[in-house]
Amino acid sequence: MIFYFSATGNTRWIAETVAAALGDQTADIRKTDPESCIFGADEMVGICFPVYACQAPLNVQQFARKLRTNGAFTYVICDYSNFVGHALEHFNREVLPINSGYGLLMPDDTSVLGMTYDDEKSTREKLKTAPERLAKIIERLKKREDHVFDAYEGPDPDAYDSLADQFYANAVTKPFFVDKARCIGCGLCAANCPVAAIAMQDGRPVWVKDHCYYCSGCINNCPKEAIGFGDKSKGVYRYTWQKYNG
Ligand X SMILES: Cc1cc2nc3c(=O)[nH]c(=O)nc-3n(C[C@H](O)[C@H](O)[C@H](O)COP(=O)(O)O)c2cc1C
Should residue 178 be labelled a site residue for ligand SF4 when binding is judged by CB under 6 A? yes
Q: Which of 60, 67, 73, 109 binds ligand X (CB under 6 A)?
A: 109
Q: Which does 227 bind (CB under 5 to 8 A by kind): ligand SF4, ligand X, none?
A: ligand SF4
Detail the DSSP E strand segments found in 69-217. Answer: 73-80, 100-105, 148-150, 176-178, 198-201, 204-207
Amino acid, res. 6: S
Query: What mask of x and - would describe binding to ligand SF4 in positions 224 to 243, judged by CB under 6 A?
Result: x-xx----------------
Instruction: Measure the CA–CA gap between 127 and 107, rounded to whole angstroms.
Output: 7
Q: Which is nearer to ligand SF4, 69 or 233 (CB)?
A: 233
User: Per CB under 6 A, which of residues 202..221 are in contact with ligand SF4?
Assistant: 205, 212-218
Binding of ligand X by 153 (CB under 6 A): no
Say how far apart CA 85 and CA 2 lie, in whole Å.
23
Please say whether the dihedral angle defined by the alpha carbons of residues 118, 228, 9 and 172, taken in this order, is positive or negative. Answer: positive
Choice between 146 and 179, CB closer to ligand SF4: 179
Helix (H, G, I), strand (E, B) or coil at 62: helix
Any residues with CB less than 8 A from the CB of 113 and at least 6 apart, and which?
214, 232
List the one residue out of 188, 211, 212, 213 whose CA is nearest residue 200.
188
Considering the rule CB under 6 A, would residue 114 count as an interface residue with ligand SF4? no
Single out the residue of 50, 42, 46, 38 nearest to residue 9, CA to CA: 50
Q: Is 194 in the site for ligand SF4 (CB under 6 A)?
A: yes
Contact 80, 106 (CB under 8 A): yes
Look at residue 101 and give the partner it binds from ligand X, ligand SF4, none, a contact being a CB closer than 5 to 8 Å depending on partner kind.
none
Of residues 66 through 85, those in contact with ligand SF4 by CB under 6 A are: none
Determine if 198 is a binding residue for ligand SF4 (CB under 6 A): yes
- Give the CB-nearest residue to ligand SF4: 212
Q: Which residues bind ligand X (CB under 6 A)?
A: 6-11, 50-54, 79-83, 106-110, 214-216, 241
Q: Which residues bind ligand SF4 (CB under 6 A)?
A: 112, 173, 178, 183-189, 193-195, 197-198, 205, 212-218, 222-224, 226-227
